[in-house]
Amino acid sequence: MGSMRVYVPATLTMLHQMLSDGRLEPASLTAFALTPRLRENYVAGTEEELEYAAMAEAARASLRLIALEQAGGPEPRRVVVTAEVDGVTPRPDLDDGAVRLSGPLPLESVVAVHVDTAEAAAAVTAAAAVVDAADLGDTDAEFVLGDVEDHELAWYDPSELPFLLELL
């Protein structure tokens, strides 16, 4: 596969780390992209809708990361880092849009950062607490995830990151 747009689940803690290190270390090098398998499952979707589906998978994966770092972390917000990278391998063992990156993401490859607004914080906290149950098919937990998924992620240019993180 050539260069591909990927959506990397992250947290605010990971964004701070990315700024100081000049690169993002994705959990298990996992990201999401418009894979052939994702394309198959959305027969009628436009390119934009399919990209959105991949980003939604990354946003849900961000909840899993938030759940892991919850104790003493910053206010929980879903974070998705969009980047253009090479060397992406599909991960059909995970979600339809899951891919494995060849290594950490250099800051220069980042094209956008998507972060929840303050209004979503309570919904994010609630969803992070039940995301594992939802993954296992718990319908009540799935309902809580629906609440957080009603919140759109705000878009930021990578150059805005230092200011964004200062404000949070």
**pLDDT tens, residue by residue, 56-84:** 999 999 999 999 886 666 678 999 999 99
Q: Are 154 and 167 in contact (CB under 8 A)?
A: no
How does residue 37 score in pLDDT terms, banded at 50, 70 and 90? confident
Residue 44 has pLDDT above 70, yes or no: yes
For the chain, give the percent of residues with pLDDT over 90: 74
Residue 19 has pLDDT above 90, yes or no: yes
Q: How confident is the model at residue 108, as a pLDDT?
A: 95
pTM of the model: 0.93
